Structure 1
Amino acid sequence: MTTEVSNETSVPIDGAEFAALADHVLQAMHVSPAAELAILFVDPEPMAELHERWLDLPGPTDVMSFPMDELRPGTAGTPTPPGTLGDIVLCPQVAAEQALEAGHSAVEEMLLLTTHGILHLLGYDHAEPHERKEMFALQRRLLLTFLAERGA
C-alpha cells in the first residue's frame, strides 16, 4: 500500500506513525497492497474552507474524507482491486481540542480520526444508529490492535 502523509501545519506530525496505522487498517480490511491513500494535515482556515465547500457547514472540523475509486473492504481470500482509496484531511488543532475533552493525547485523537477517515473511504458511515454502532466498534478494534502491536 502506498500512503502519502503530508503536513501543511506547524504542528509536529510523525508521518511514519500515520502511514503505519494506515497500513494496519488497510491490511485488516483486506485492501489491495496496490491501493493508494493520502493523509493531509492542515490548519483550521483551510479545513474550514473545505468544510464549508463540501458540507456547507461553518468552521473547521476534525477530519474529512474524500473517496476516489469507492473501494470497499475485501475478504481474506479476495482483497479489493488496486486503486486510489482517496484522501483524508485532518486538522491537528481541532483534534487537540477534542483530545482535551476526551482525556487523551492529541496524537491519539489524530490516530483515531485517521482510522475513522479510512473507514469512511471504505464506505462506512454513522448516520443511522446501527451504522454508528458497527463503524465505531470496528474503529475501536482497529485502533486498539494497532496501539497494542506497536507497544503503546
Structure 2
Amino acid sequence: MNRGAFPPARVLNPLAADPVVDLAWSSIRPDLLRQESCRQLLRHWLTALQPELDPRQRSRAYSLGVTVTDDITMAELNRTWRHGQGATDVLAFASGQDGPWLAPEPGEPLELGDIVIAWETAERQAEAAGWTLDRELVWLLSHGVLHLLGWDHPDDASLATMLERQILLLEATGQTTVQDRAKVWSLPGKPFANHDST
C-alpha cells in the first residue's frame, strides 16, 4: 500500500475543501491498515463520492469507526448482528440503515456508522487472489464505506456495480491498477464468497 500522499480524487468535489474525517480507530493489528493512512483514504473517497451522494449524506465532516479484529470476534459479530455462520471479511453497520439520515447539528460531523474487518480472513483472501494483505484490507475498507453510504448487493448485478465503484475509488487514490481490475473479474469461482451482504 502506498503510505505517502495520495493523488487528488478524479471526481470534482462540490465542497470548498475535502471533508474532515473524525475516525474512531481500533485494531488488534496496528501494523495493518494504519490509522492515518485509513483516514487519508476515507477523506479522498468521501470527496470523490460527494456528487453521487444523497443530499442528506453530503457534509463537510464525517464521523465513523473502523475496527480491525480477528476471525473469532468477527464470527461472533456475524452471528449476533447478521445471523450468519463463521467469520466474514467485512461488516458495515450503517447509522442510516434503519431510517432517514439525520442532519448533524451545525459544526458536528455526519455519523456514518462502523466498519469491522477481519484481518485473518483478509489474509486468506489476499493469498488466494495473489496480492498483498495491505491491498486486500484497503479493498475491504472501500467496500465497507460504500455499505455505510447505502450501496448494497442483494444480487449479482448490484454486486458487479458495487465492485466496479470500489475499483474506481481505489484507482482515484492510486491503490489499484488496470491489471488489478482484470484480476478481480478473473478470479475463479466466487471471489467474494467469504463476504455476506451487510
TM range (shorter): 0.7 to 0.9
Return 5+ residue gaps in structure 2 as ranges: 1-20, 51-57, 102-107, 177-198
Q: Counterparts of 2:169 and 2:23 in 1: how far apart (Å)?
A: 17
Contact between 1:11 and 1:92, CA under 8 Å: does it hold in 2? no
Say yes or no: does 1:125 pair with 2:152.
yes
Q: Residues 97 and 82 (structure 1 numbering): CA distance in 2 closer, same or farther, change over 3 Å?
A: same
Secondary structure, in 3 states, of the residue corresponding to 2:173?
helix
Quote the residue 2:190 is aligned against: none
Q: Counterparts of 2:175 and 2:138 in 1: how far apart (Å)?
A: 13
Say yes or no: does 1:6 pair with 2:6.
no
> Alignment RMSD, CA only?
2.1
Name the TM-score, length of structure 1 as normaliser: 0.83
Quote the residue 1:68 is aligned against: 95
Say yes or no: does 1:27 pair with 2:47.
yes
Give 2:133's match in structure 1, choosing from 83, 106, 120. 106
Say yes or no: does 1:53 pair with 2:80.
yes
Give 1 or 2: higher helix fraction: 1
2:49 is matched by which residue type in structure 1? M
Name the TM-score, length of structure 2 as normaliser: 0.65
Contact between 1:48 and 1:61, CA under 8 Å: does it hold in 2? yes
Point out the structure with max Rg over C-alpha: 2
Quote the residue 2:66 is aligned against: 39
Q: Counterparts of 1:118 and 1:40 in 2: how far apart (Å)?
A: 13
- After TM superposition, which residue ranges in structure 1, 4 or more long, deviate above 2 angstroms? 69-72
Contact between 2:89 and 2:122, CA under 8 Å: does it hold in 1? yes
Count of aligned pairs between the two proteins: 140
2:48 is matched by which residue type in structure 1? A
Displacement of 1:11: 5.7
Displacement of 1:135: 0.8
Q: Once the two structures are aligned, what percentage of the paired residues are identical? A: 32
Return 5+ residue gaps in structure 1 as ranges: 73-80
Of 31-40 and 134-143, the range deviating more from structure 2: 31-40
Q: Counterparts of 1:58 and 1:128 in 2: how far apart (Å)?
A: 20
Secondary structure, in 3 states, of the residue corresponding to 1:35?
strand
